[in-house]
Amino acid sequence: MHFVVCAKQIPDPETPPSAFRVDEAKKEVIPPQGIAPVLSQFDGIAAEAALRIKEQTSGTRITVISLGQERARDAIKQVLAMGADEGVLLDDATFQGGDSYTTARTLAAAIRKLGDVDAVFCGRQAADWDMGQVGLGIAELLGWPCAIIASSVQCAEGKLTVKRVLADGFETVRVPLPAVVTVSNELGEPRYPKLQQIMQAARKTVRSMTPAELALDPSTVGAAGARLKLERLFVPVAGGDCEFMPGDTPQAQAVALAKTLRAARIL
């Protein structure tokens, strides 16, 4: 079987809010000083889901694909170190500045080019823009079914069995291959590569694919093809001033809180 993991390199989502800045004129996030970009959390978990199946199904290969600039190579290397077999970097000037539509279109073209893919594993949402569209978009463009927000994924007899997180519980669905699945944190922590695996990953192939190879018209990818136009990007102003409860002991502060909430008619 041949699986694809879609992996995106993003600004660290655990950046403290106090260090988070945007350039409103350029409508861009200003990379925080000294905080390196990371593999989007859910994409590491998507890789984990694919690797768990690979361990149980002999002859399974995993290709990791990332659309991004040169630094996206780090996201690819990380998934290769976890145990994926090969990487594809989609780094071309015409791919930049796109939206969910152009990203899904470009990734779907790369998956089509690989030719023999049985399943695609995406994160439930990229932890930068938090959209949650690309997995479903790839599925629609390829005409495949898609199961979103998975907490476990199993593969047998040409089908994926996916446990999905719903608002009030879980649901188990079965979809025929080829299919796309988007993975959530309830699946569990991604494995941590050993030093030896990191060294091996350095020798694994990362190929690139150009718009021409993918037969993509430059007017349909990147900024030129985007359908969502970002008009404004800004940091909302934070709420009120916190009133700290007076008192020298936890006891006194607790009593002050109860009384304050009562006086404010909140309790």
Rounded Cα–Cα distance for residues 89 and 68 (Å): 7
Are residues 4 and 179 in contact, defined by beta-carbon separation less than 8 angstroms? no
In the bound complex, what is the minimum distance in angstroms from residue 14's beta carbon to ligand FAD?
6
Residue 184 within binding range of ligand AMP, rule CB under 6 A: no
264 binds another protein, rule: CB under 8 A:
yes
Instruction: Please give the radius of gyration of the chain, using alpha carbons only, rounded to the nearest integer.
Output: 22
Q: Is 3 exposed, middle or buried (0-12, 13-18, 19+ CB in 10 A)?
A: buried
Tokens 């800045």: give the residue.
21
Of 13 and 158, the one with the shorter C-beta distance to ligand FAD is 13
For the window 75-114, what string marks contact with ligand AMP as x by the rule CB under 6 A? -------------------------x--x---x-------
Q: How far apart are CA 107 and CA 137, in angstroms?
A: 10
Q: Which does 198 bind (CB under 5 to 8 A by kind): ligand AMP, another protein, ligand FAD, none?
A: none
3-state secondary structure of 110: helix
Choose the one of ligand AMP, ligand FAD, another protein, none that binds residue 67, judging by a C-beta under 5 to 8 angstroms depending on kind: ligand AMP
Contacted entry of ligand FAD, another protein, ligand AMP, none for residue 18, CB cut-off 5 to 8 Å set by kind: another protein
3-class secondary structure, 140: helix
Asked whether the beta carbons of 114 and 2 are under 8 A apart, the reply is yes
Q: Per-residue string for binding with ligand AMP, 135-154, x by CB under 6 A?
A: x-------------------
Amino acid at 161: T
The partner in contact with residue 2, picked from another protein, ligand FAD, ligand AMP, none with C-beta cut-offs of 5 to 8 angstroms by kind, is: none
Q: Which helix (H) or strand (E) holds 76?
A: helix 72-82
233 binds, among another protein, ligand AMP, ligand FAD, none (CB under 5 to 8 A by kind): another protein
Q: Is there binding between residue 125 and ligand AMP (CB under 6 A)?
A: yes
The answer to whether the beta carbons of residues 1 and 57 sit under 8 Å apart is yes
Residue 64 binds: one of ligand FAD, another protein, ligand AMP, none (C-beta under 5 to 8 A by kind)? none
Interaction of residue 161 with another protein, rule CB under 8 A? yes
- Among 67, 111, 146, 187, indicate the residue that binds ligand AMP (CB under 6 A): 67
- Which of 131, 199, 205, 213 lies at the binding interface for another protein (CB under 8 A)? 131
Q: H or E element: which one contains 109?
A: helix 100-114
Residue among 18 and 219 whose Cβ is closer to ligand FAD? 18
Report how far residue 75's alpha carbon sits from residue 68's, in angstroms, rounded to the nearest whole number: 10
Whole-number Å distance between alpha carbons of 148 and 129: 17
> Token pair of 9, please?
């390199």
Return residues touching ligand AMP (CB under 6 A): 6-8, 40, 42-43, 46, 65-68, 100, 103, 107, 122-123, 125-126, 129, 131-135
